Structure 1
Amino acid sequence: MTMDDRSKYLFQRYLDNICSPKEWEELMGILENDEVLGNLFDETWNKNHGQINLQSSSPREHIRQAILERPKSRKPKKLLYYGLAAASLFGLFVLFQLISSNFRSFNSPVQKPLIQIADVDPGYSRAMLITGSGKKINLESLKINESMDLAGLKLHKLAEGWIKLETAADLYNQSLQNVIQTPKGGEFRITLSDGSEVMLNASTKFTFPARFSPQERSVSILGEGFFDVKNKDRAGKPQAPFVVHTLNHDVRVLGTAFNIQSYPGQSKDFTTLIRGVVKIGINNKEGKVLHPGEQAMVSTLGDIRVNKVDLEEVTAWKEGLFLFNDKPLEVLMEEISRWYDVDLLYVGKRKALELFGVYSRKKSLKSLLSNLEQTGKIKFEMLSNQNIKNKERRVTVRIKYL
């Protein structure tokens, strides 16, 4: 029996409350090794929860820190050492039970029991408009060529299916801010009152005023959008600078086309220039100028890095495609999660896996995942909680590296 097997054996006897005094003393000596202590926890956790890859903020790390961060005397007495070791062991047991219970109850990424499902439909054009006065309009429900007058805003649904916005003549408050929000599994295209076009990707919030000021056309975005900004109005006169605010930076333009990705939870924002010139700034400070084909990565700490990128890959989503050139699987799965409105559950140890290919966003999820499985390095399973009463239907994609 190896030392690792012996420690597991002794620890299990301790949990079962059948550990003899001699075995307990032996276990105290083994637990002086921090690696053994961590392995014991991993073994116990995985036995109860399966091989789930827990991140640094996982219960394991919190428990290990609580156990191991104790003052160490240079020359501890034997009795004191055993007391500390026993406290650590008891803490491991108690904290494991408490946090394990809480983890199962509150932090489980899926609802059980789950059932396998055949397929998931792709996303489609849909969005919600929330006016500055608080009124909500389901833009998907508007009919082609239908118009609607709201306080300070006029809507018209074009034959192509997107919305054209105009400032209403009866505008009573220029400071009104409107919001167009796409859900997971949705996208939408709009034409602003200045003639600029914006296409919003899934799970995106776009905020704009009922009327732009003469000094600056200011909007904000949380998510991803493609902008085609007009530098002249319908009469051919130059328009004010166009500024897009994101979580971490501002993009100042005159007339140009560019893509912005700024989702919550991302460590970086990405602005990619298609044509024209834009200036990337942070907190109204002078930033960096982008030229066509360049992408600015802006961190939450305010660092800006500029790189050359593949423009087709960046803008593929607005053309109805997934395009990935050596894209990490986890990045691609986040895009898939937003477009098909599914949750993700990684099972087992994650591995570095980069993918290459192109696929239509109009096809079903099963078709896409089946193609990814042909790499022989990944396995997917689609599960749903739809058999649980009074629960919102959610689909979870279980991901296992091979």
Structure 2
Amino acid sequence: MDQKIEKILVKYLMNAADIDDLEILSNWLKKEENKQIFKNHVKINYVMDSNFNEFDVVSAKEEYLQKIRLKKRRDRKLKTYNALRNAAAVIAIGFASVYLLNEFAFKEATAYGTSTVVNSQIEPGTDKATLTLEDGSQIALEKGSSLQTQNANSNGEEIVYEADKKRGKEVVYNYLTIPRGGQFHVVLSDGTEVWLNSESQLKYPVAFIDGESREVELIYGEAYFDVSPSTAHKGARFKVFNQSQEVEVLGTEFNIKAYKEETNIYTTLVEGKVTVNFGDQQQKLLPNQQSVTNIDQKDIEVRNVDVYGETSWRKGLFSFKSKSLKEIMTVISRWYDVEVIFENSELENAMFNGVLKKDQSLEVLLKAINKTNLISAYEIKEDKVIIK
């Protein structure tokens, strides 16, 4: 498969394709031989869950029409023409993809093991966090609740800090802690957006000091940063600290994964430039690159990665490409707040490729994995999952 088409296909499956990507993919799929290539590629590289069967044409059409309306430097006539053309492209891709995924992702994967569920209906994680204020008091943030302080307000799904025009030289910190089975979005006072994954904690100033370096600390866990550019803050750089690592940026999008039980820190650059510092070592990253900082060996390795897969959690997806079943179950255990036990330790090293939605019950997700025949069966018993 052509590398350009393969990249667009990955973006489509990660919900990251834009209008131009969709048009290219739609035209490419018009050829029958390309439909077969598409089918074979996804069959080999991905296991799709049943929720991908659903494609809301009306909603998708409106979503992409809105994207077109927001595009700059296009005159009104061209916008109208492209809106109709691209809406048709979206619909064509949707029907083609759903048909193909139906054909091989499910009908051919019917021979799989049994499962047992005992008194358990484990639902997916949700937006929730604990906010620790400067005086040490803690406030639970979750859907359906609201909060308003002197510096911030929350609707239960995110917390937004306001720029303090009267701030002095004293830096006051808040902590946002995301439990297992949770996620949360925070907008810092400089406009920087941070998405926090399950089992994560971020330390950050309530307000940054004008013109000085903007510094936050990812104490543990995973976070996606969309940093407000330094040009909007008198040249002030943005830094993220974690253990012995420091990431310095001017304004960009990147992801850091640094869980407590892991010896590696993964920094993935989506847009812009960042510099990763670790001890006396320094590495500059370009888009689509990832640094792997090994705490024990005290070194940094840089490699090219699929950024859409690495950051898909922010868009409500699990994307596993050549991941071991043990790695996958570690991610799943955090999101569903369960303990995973392997009855056969050899299964831990079994490799899996898949794109699965996060907004479904644990049983539905396990059924999708079970269809690969990597595991013969599984058992859900209260808050434990036993892989057999």
Q: How does 1:135-154 map to 2 (within 5 A)?
A: 135-140=137-142, 143=145, 148-150=148-150, 154=151
Q: Which residue of 2 aligns with 1:339?
A: 335
Normalised to the residue count of structure 2, the TM-score between the two structures is 0.65
Report the Cα distance in structure 2 between the residues aligned to 1:168 and 1:125, rounded to whole angstroms: 26
SS in 2 for 1:363: coil
Q: Give secondary structure in 1 for the equivalent of 2:207.
A: coil
Partner of 1:72: none
RMSD between aligned alpha carbons?
2.2
Displacement of 1:366: 0.1
For residues 242 and 353 of structure 2, the distance between their equivalents in structure 1, rounded to whole angstroms, comes to: 29
Q: Which of these residues, 267, 292, 299, is aligned with residue 294 of structure 2?
A: 299
CA shift, 1:216, in A, is: 1.0
2:123 partner letter: D
Residue of structure 1 aligned with 2:269, choices 264, 267, 273: 273
Contact 1:241/1:254 (CA < 8 Å) preserved in 2? yes
In the alignment, structure 1 segments of 5+ residues that lack a partner are 1-114, 385-394
In structure 1, the residue matched to 2:282 is 287
Cα distance in 1, alignment partners of residues 345 and 281 from structure 2: 43
Measure how far apart 1:168 and its partner are.
Answer: 5.1
TM-score, scaled relative to structure 1: 0.63
Matched, 1:157 2:166: no
Given candidates 295, 300, 316, the residue that maps to 1:320 is 316
Instruction: Name the SS of the counterpart of 2:142 in structure 1.
Output: helix
CA pair 237-180 structure 1, distance change in 2 beyond 3 A: closer
The residue that corresponds to 1:396 in the other structure is: 384
Within 2, Cα distance between the matches of 1:183 and 1:286? 33
- Tell me how far apart the structure 1 counterparts of residues 358 and 179 of structure 2 sit (CA, whole Å): 16
Cα deviation for residue 177 of structure 1 reads 2.0
Closer, same or farther: CA 147–118 of 1 in aligned 2, 3 Å: closer
Shift in alpha-carbon separation, 1:383–1:261, aligned structure 2, 3 A: same
- Match of residue 196, structure 1, among 188, 192, 195: 192
Report if the CA contact (8 A) 2:164-2:189 is conserved.
no
State the alpha-carbon separation in 2 of the partners of residues 364 and 173 from structure 1: 48
User: 2:364 maps to which residue?
Assistant: 367
Shift of 1:184: 0.4
CA 1:230–1:271: 2 relative to 1, 3 Å: same
1:123-152 CA-partner distances (Å, limit 9, x unpaired): 011111001211211122664xx55225xx
Cα distance between partner residues in 1 of 2:143 and 2:374: 42
Determine if the alignment matches structure 1 residue 130 to structure 2 residue 132: yes
Query: How far did 1:167 drift?
Result: 5.1
The alpha-carbon deviation at position 383 of structure 1 amounts to 1.1
Distance in 2, Cα, partners of 1:142 & 1:231: 33
Identity %: 32
Matches within 5 A, 1:58-207: 116-140=118-142, 143=145, 148-150=148-150, 154-157=151-154, 161-166=157-162, 174-207=170-203
1:215 to 212, 216, 222: 212
Match of 2:351 among 350, 354, 363: 354
Matched residues in 2 for 1:370 and 1:173: separation? 55
Q: Is the 8 A contact 1:242 1:253 kept in 2?
A: yes
Greater displacement, 246-255 / 196-205: 246-255
Secondary structure at the residue paired with 1:119?
coil
Q: 1:291 to 1:169 in 2, by over 3 A?
A: closer
| Amino acid of the structure 2 residue aligned with 1:288 | Q
Q: Matched residue of 1:126: which SS?
A: strand
1:242 match: 238
Q: Aligned with 1:297: secondary structure?
A: strand
Query: 1:186 Cα deviation (Å)?
Result: 0.3
Q: For the Cα contact (< 8 Å) 2:161–2:206, is it kept in 1?
A: no
Kindly indicate whether the alpha-carbon contact (under 8 Å) linking 1:262 and 1:268 is maintained by their aligned counterparts in 2: yes
Contact kept, 8 Å, 2:281 with 2:299, in 1: the verdict is no
Contact preservation (8 Å) 1:251, 1:278: yes
Post-superposition Cα deviations, 1:65-111, rounded to whole Å, max 9, x if no partner, equal xxxxxxxxxxxxxxxxxxxxxxxxxxxxxxxxxxxxxxxxxxxxxxx
Pair 1:299–1:286, CA change in 2 (3 A): closer
Q: CA 1:240 to 1:369, structure 2 compared with 1: closer, same or farther past 3 Å?
A: same
1:260 aligns with 2:256: yes
Measure the CA separation in 1 of the matches of 2:208 and 2:289. 28
Partners of 1:182 and 1:173 in 2: CA distance: 29
In 2, the alpha carbon distance for the partners of 1:337 and 1:124 equals 14
Matching residue's letter, 1:360: K
Deviation at 1:188, TM superposition (A): 0.3
Matching residue's letter, 1:263? Y
Letter in 2 for 1:183: P
| Contact 2:226 2:253 (C-alpha < 8 Å) held by counterparts | yes
User: Does the residue aligned with 1:127 lie in a helix, a strand or coil?
Assistant: strand
Confirm or deny that 1:377 pairs with 2:370: no
3-state DSSP of counterpart to 2:310: helix
Decide whether the 8 Å contact of 2:269 with 2:289 is kept in 1. yes
Contact 1:223 1:263 in 2 (8 A): yes
8 Å Cα contact 2:126-2:183 kept in structure 1: yes
Q: Which has the higher contact order (CA 8 A, sep 6+)?
A: 2
| AA in 2 matched with 1:383 | K
Match of 1:184, SS?
coil
Contact 2:148–2:154 (CA under 8 A) maintained in structure 1: no
Contact kept, 8 Å, 1:326 with 1:356, in 2: the verdict is yes
